[in-house]
Amino acid sequence: MTKVVEITNMHFTRGERTIYENISLSVAKGGITAIMGPSGIGKTTLLKIIGGQLVPNSGDVIFQGENVHKVSRSRLYEMRRKMSMLFQSGALFTNMSVFDNVAFPLREHTKLDESIISTIVKLKLEAVGLRGALGLMPSELSGGMARRAALARAIALDPDLIMYDEPFAGQDPISMGVLVELIKTLNKALDLTSIVVTHDVSEVLEIADYAYIMANKTIIGAGTPEEIKNSDSPLVRQFLNGDADGPVPFHYNAESLQDDLLAVN
Partner 1 sequence: MTQLANYFASIGRTTIEKVVAIGQASLMLFGALFAFPKVKNIGLTIHQIYVVGVQSLLIIMVSGLFIGMVMALQGYTILVNYGAEGSLGPMVALSLLRELGPVVTALLFAGRAGSALTAEIGLMKATEQLSSLEMMAVDPLRRVIAPRFWAGVISMPMLAIIFSAIGILGGHLVGVDWLGVDSGSYWSIMQSTVEWDKDVVNGIIKSIVFALVVVWIALYKGYSCVPTSEGISQATTQTVVYSSLLILGLDFILTALMFGIS
Q: Which residues bind partner 1 (CB under 8 A)?
A: 48, 51, 53, 77-78, 80-81, 83-85, 87-89, 91-94, 104-105, 108-109, 150, 153
Q: How far is the CB of 254 from partner 1 (least distance, A)?
A: 23
d(CA 97, CA 253): 46
Q: How far is the CB of 205 from partner 1 (least distance, A)?
A: 26
Q: Which is nearer to partner 1, 95 or 241 (CB)?
A: 95
- Locate the DSSP E strands across the chain: 3-14, 17-28, 32-36, 58-63, 66-67, 83-86, 161-165, 193-198, 210-215, 218-223
Asked if residue 237 lies in contact with residue 225, where contact means CB atoms within 8 angstroms, the answer is no
Q: Which is nearer to partner 1, 150 or 215 (CB)?
A: 150
Sheet holding 66-67, edge to edge: 17-28, 3-14, 58-63, 66-67
The set of residues, in sequence order, having a beta carbon less than 8 Å from that of 79 and lying 6+ positions away, is 52, 63, 64, 66, 68, 71
Q: Which is nearer to partner 1, 82 or 229 (CB)?
A: 82
Q: Which is nearer to partner 1, 85 or 141 (CB)?
A: 85
- DSSP for residue 113: -
Q: How far is the CB of 105 from partner 1 (least distance, A)?
A: 5
Q: How far is the CB of 179 from partner 1 (least distance, A)?
A: 18
Q: Which is nearer to partner 1, 26 or 89 (CB)?
A: 89
Q: Which is nearer to partner 1, 57 or 224 (CB)?
A: 57
d(CA 130, CA 145): 8
d(CA 108, CA 56): 29
Backbone angles phi, psi at 113, to 5 degrees: -65, 145
Q: How far is the CB of 65 from partner 1 (least distance, A)?
A: 18
Q: How far is the CB of 237 from partner 1 (least distance, A)?
A: 34
